[in-house]
């Protein structure tokens, strides 16, 4: 019976938020806020003590695909010409502001939890410091904000996870091995993750755009697949690079960046997909967060 309530809740909140989304946006009330709250309301916190048992692998795959679509579509909307003219702001955010944020978050965590090891505080900081592209979507899509600022946030939110992720893995390895020093090859590993992800992702996006545009001009592609093919390319770039040792999230970002700047037509198709189907993925992810993760973590 609880499953029926869940699906009823999903359908009602999508319909309800859709009807009043423009009104809510005026008050800075975003979709993730609404869906997280509804997730909590239809969780065991509101409907008895029965715990929802979710398939961890299924939730992970949903979250991965959602983030891939967000990174890819946001990157596809970036204008490289503007980025070349205003590259200093993203560099400051990624290589000055982000490390400072991690340091301050680590010190704050140490102050809150003085009895925990420093590595645990650093781990918490590495998880919290990178901003989430999905949460920032309401900002980067608001045309009242200057395009330079929106592009800068897009670039930073697309690359910060990829930059922090290898460091996060290193800290996890140090915690698991009870070591206080990282292995000698960890810097090379980080460089490999970033470089391979960026270069290969850019190539996949550029080559995919060339092939798809040729298919469109030759009339080989059914119109409906013009929206689906770029998204399939995003997922392909992620899992292909993860298999061969690069960072899949960076690959998805650069794949979208080069596809969007190679073909304006494909960029419009990506935006069309992201505004409907991609948005649904995002909202369901936040619904699951409110329904499963909040009740599970609340006792702690």
Domain CATH for 19: 1.20.1530.20
Angstrom CA distances, 88 to 139, 151, 197, 282, stand at 20, 12, 22, 30
Handedness of CA 89, 93, 96, 97 (dihedral sign): positive
Q: Is the pLDDT confidence value at 1 over 50?
A: no
- At 52 the pLDDT is 61
What is the spatial distance between Cα 273 and Cα 192, in angstroms, rounded to a whole number? 31
What is the spatial distance between Cα 140 and Cα 79, in angstroms, rounded to a whole number? 13
> What's the pLDDT band for 53 if we cut at 50, 70, 90?
low
Higher-confidence residue of 117 and 138: namely 117
Domain range spanning residue 255?
Answer: 2-297
- At 170 the pLDDT is 76
Closest by Cα among 55, 62, 42 to 1: 42
In the chain, what percentage of residues exceed pLDDT 70? 83
**Contact yes or no for 239/289 (Cβ under 8 A):** no
Q: How many domains does the chain have?
A: 1
Tens of pLDDT, residue by residue over 210-248, are 888 888 787 787 777 776 778 888 888 888 888 777 778
Rg (CA), the chain: 20
To 5 degrees, how large is the angle CA 94–CA 96–CA 99? 80
């990624």: which residue's tokens?
94
**How many angstroms from the chain centroid is the CA of residue 106?**
23
Closest by Cα among 148, 186, 147 to 168: 186
Section 68-95 average pLDDT? 79
Closest by Cα among 57, 79, 61 to 238: 61
DSSP secondary structure of the chain: -HHHHHHHHHHHHHHHHHHHHHHHHHTT--HHHHHHHHHHHTSTTTS-SPPP---HHHHHHHHHHHHHHHHHHHHHT--HHHHHHT-HHHHHIIIIIHHHHHHHHHHHHHHH-TTS-HHHHHHHHHHHSSPPTTTTHHHHT-TTS-HHHHHHHHHHHHHHHHHHHHHHHHHHHHHHTT-SS--TTHHHHHHHHHHHHHHHHHHHHHHHHHHHHHHHHHT-S-TTHHHHHHHHHHHHHHHHHHHTTS-HHHHHHHHHHHHHHH-HHHHHHHHHHIIIIIHHHHHHHHHHIIIIIHHHHTT-
Tens of pLDDT, residue by residue over 269-282, are 777 776 667 777 77
Q: Is the pLDDT confidence value at 40 over 50?
A: yes
pTM value surpassing 0.75: no
- Range among 14-18, 159-163, 198-202 with highest mean pLDDT value: 198-202
């Amino acid at each position: 019976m609880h499953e029926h309530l869940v699906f009823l809740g999903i359908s009602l909140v999508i319909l309800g938020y859709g009807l009043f989304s423009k009104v809510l946006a005026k008050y800075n009330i975003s979709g993730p806020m609404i869906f997280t709250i509804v997730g909590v309301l239809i969780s065991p916190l509101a409907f008895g003590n029965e715990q929802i048992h979710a398939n961890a692998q299924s939730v992970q795959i949903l979250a991965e695909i959602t983030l891939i679509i967000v990174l890819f579509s946001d990157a596809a909307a970036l204008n490289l010409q503007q980025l070349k003219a205003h590259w200093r702001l993203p560099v400051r955010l990624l290589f000055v502001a982000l490390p400072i944020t991690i340091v301050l978050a680590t010190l704050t965590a140490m102050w809150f939890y003085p009895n925990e090891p420093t590595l645990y505080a650093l781990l918490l900081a590495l998880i919290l410091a990178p901003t989430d592209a999905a949460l920032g979507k309401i900002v980067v899509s608001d045309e009242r904000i200057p395009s330079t600022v929106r592009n800068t946030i897009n670039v930073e939110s697309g690359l910060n996870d990829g930059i922090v992720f290898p460091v996060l893995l290193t800290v996890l390895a140090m915690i698991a091995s009870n070591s206080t020093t990282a292995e000698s090859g960890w810097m090379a590993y980080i460089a490999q993750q970033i470089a391979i992800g960026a270069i290969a992702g850019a190539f996949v996006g550029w080559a995919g755009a060339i092939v798809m545009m040729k298919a469109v001009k030759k009339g080989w592609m059914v119109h409906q697949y013009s929206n689906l093919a770029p998204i399939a390319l995003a997922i392909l770039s992620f899992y292909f690079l993860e298999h061969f040792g690069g960072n899949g999230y960076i690959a998805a970002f650069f794949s979208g960046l080069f596809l969007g700047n190679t073909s304006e037509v494909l960029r419009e198709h990506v935006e069309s997909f992201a505004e409907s189907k991609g948005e649904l993925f995002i909202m369901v992810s936040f619904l699951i967060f409110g329904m499963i993760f909040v009740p599970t973590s609340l006792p702690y």
